């Protein structure tokens, strides 16, 4: 059997900024070994987590290396979607077929490469989980590449507070044009939960209006800029807000906390406002004690770990089904063609101002998916 020409971005030692330590390596891929599946990646996002991993600031290392390099070359990229192109021995014939769409089953798979032979157990087969009538469109496949980091995270952010969330309830979110927040708005809408979206103030009224229109299409009830929320409570008047999802921290988190109804919860899942670990929010006794609110942090992996492997898989497949049925729409991303841009894509992600669309590697496309 002829060998496959493949390429991967990889790093041997952590580096800051991440792009400086990455190399594009071309290599030949043998046929898959026993228990392995050969895949061709279709899309893989460049996530903030990946940048942390390459710069050595995240305590989990990639589990895969580029074959045939003198020093171990770790392949970053924990998220993405691939197509099965060959199947090794000792794989159950019902588990994988050529053409199946797969995503990583866990952290560390290494998706920043064109092709790979990986253990079958490290893949989650979306095709076998979807009803056979559901043929994914190309835009659905793109959405699958962010199932884990965006849709699963959004789902867990809502689910994590499920005891208090009932149809008709109100939630409030900041950084609402972000991929996770817009997925939260859509999932909340599906559950009958009404959302108030807070977006940063844009200098340009047209781009402001575009963001508002987009969020309303996702089902947002009210969209306010940070300064509109600060200046007036008119947009939230009379609404019993039980959950605030905060990706900004600092003053923006304080504004969200102040809108909560008694007994409400503020969940922090990011510090887009800057300041890193030293960033802080001020919690007054009026908000915390009088209103009896709870403030907690969210890390998706903690909540995923509370599920069995089967439960996690069922959740991912269910979310994939919502995408194919057009009940969940893909947030805006920007595609970077693999091979042309290689590590320039990473450099662009590093310099990306907060609130801009996520970058996603686009690999070779297969016209016939099924």
Of the residues 166, 282, 337, 370, which one makes contact with its own copies according to CB under 8 A: 282
How far from 178 is each of 115, 198, 276, CA to CA, in Å? 30, 11, 18
295 sits near its own copies (criterion: CB under 8 A):
yes
* C-alpha span between 182 and 330 (Å, rounded): 9
Considering only the stretches 93-101, 267-275, 317-325, 353-361, report the one whose residues sit in contact with its own copies under the rule CB under 8 A. 267-275
Q: Which of 43, 58, 74, 303 is catalytic?
A: 58
297 three-class SS: strand
Query: Which pair of tokens denotes residue 29?
Result: 């891929």
173 sits near its own copies (criterion: CB under 8 A):
no
Considering only the stretches 57-65, 222-230, 233-241, 272-280, report the one whose residues sit in contact with its own copies under the rule CB under 8 A. 272-280
268 sits near its own copies (criterion: CB under 8 A):
yes
Are the CB atoms for 118 and 64 separated by under 8 Å?
Answer: yes
Residue among 247 and 323 whose Cβ is closer to its own copies: 247
Residue matched to tokens 């990706």: 247
For residue 17, say if its preceding peptide bond is cis, omega within 30 degrees of 0. Answer: yes
Of the residues 52, 85, 107, 283, which one makes contact with its own copies according to CB under 8 A: 283
**Residue 235: DSSP 8-state:** G
189 three-class SS: helix
Are the CB atoms for 348 and 45 separated by under 8 Å?
Answer: no
Query: Which pair of tokens denotes residue 202?
Result: 């844009």
275 sits near its own copies (criterion: CB under 8 A):
yes
Least distance to its own copies from the beta carbon of 1, Å? 49
Residue among 9 and 267 whose Cβ is closer to its own copies: 267
* Interface size with its own copies, residues (CB under 8 A): 27
279 sits near its own copies (criterion: CB under 8 A):
yes
Per CB under 8 A, contacts with its own copies among 112-131 are: none
Query: In 165-187, which positions are buried (b, 16+ CB within 10 angstroms) versus exposed (e)?
Result: beeebbbbbbbbbbbbbbbbbbb
357 sits near its own copies (criterion: CB under 8 A):
no
Q: Is 43 tagged catalytic?
A: no
- Catalytic positions are 58
Contact residues: its own copies, CB under 8 A: 249, 268, 271, 275-286, 288-297, 299, 302
């Amino acid at each position: 059997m002829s060998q496959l020409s493949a390429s991967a971005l990889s790093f041997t030692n952590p580096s800051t900024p991440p792009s400086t330590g990455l190399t594009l390596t071309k290599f030949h891929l043998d046929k898959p070994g026993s228990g392995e599946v050969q895949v061709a990646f279709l899309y893989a996002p460049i996530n903030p987590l990946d940048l942390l991993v390459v710069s050595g600031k995240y305590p989990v290392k990639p589990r895969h290396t580029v074959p045939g390099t003198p020093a171990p070359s770790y392949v970053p990229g924990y998220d993405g979607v691939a197509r099965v192109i060959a199947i090794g021995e000792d794989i159950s014939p019902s588990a994988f077929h050529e053409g199946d769409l797969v995503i990583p089953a866990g952290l560390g798979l290494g998706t920043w490469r064109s092709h790979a032979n990986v253990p079958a157990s490290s893949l989650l087969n979306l095709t076998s989980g979807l009803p056979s009538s559901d043929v994914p469109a190309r835009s659905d496949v793109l959405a699958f590449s962010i199932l884990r980091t965006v849709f699963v995270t959004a789902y867990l952010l809502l689910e994590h507070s499920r005891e208090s969330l009932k149809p008709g309830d109100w939630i409030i979110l900041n950084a609402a044009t972000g991929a996770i927040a817009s997925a939260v708005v859509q999932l909340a809408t599906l559950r009958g939960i009404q959302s108030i979206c807070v977006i940063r103030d844009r200098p340009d009224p047209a781009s402001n209006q575009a963001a508002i229109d987009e969020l309303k299409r996702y089902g947002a009830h009210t969209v306010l800029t940070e300064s509109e929320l600060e200046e007036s409570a008119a947009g939230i008047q009379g609404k019993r807000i039980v959950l605030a999802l905060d990706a900004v921290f600092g003053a923006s988190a304080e504004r969200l906390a102040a809108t909560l109804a008694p007994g409400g919860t503020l969940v922090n899942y990011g510090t887009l406002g800057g300041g890193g670990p030293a960033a802080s929010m001020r919690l007054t006794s009026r908000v915390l004690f009088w209103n009896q609110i709870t403030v907690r942090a969210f890390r998706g992996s903690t909540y995923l770990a509370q599920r069995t492997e089967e439960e996690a898989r069922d959740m991912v497949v269910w979310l994939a089904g919502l995408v194919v049925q057009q009940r969940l729409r893909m947030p805006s991303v920007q595609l970077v063609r693999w091979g042309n841009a290689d590590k320039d894509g990473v450099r662009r992600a590093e310099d990306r101002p907060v609130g801009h669309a996520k970058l996603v590697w686009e690999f070779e496309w297969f016209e016939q998916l099924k």
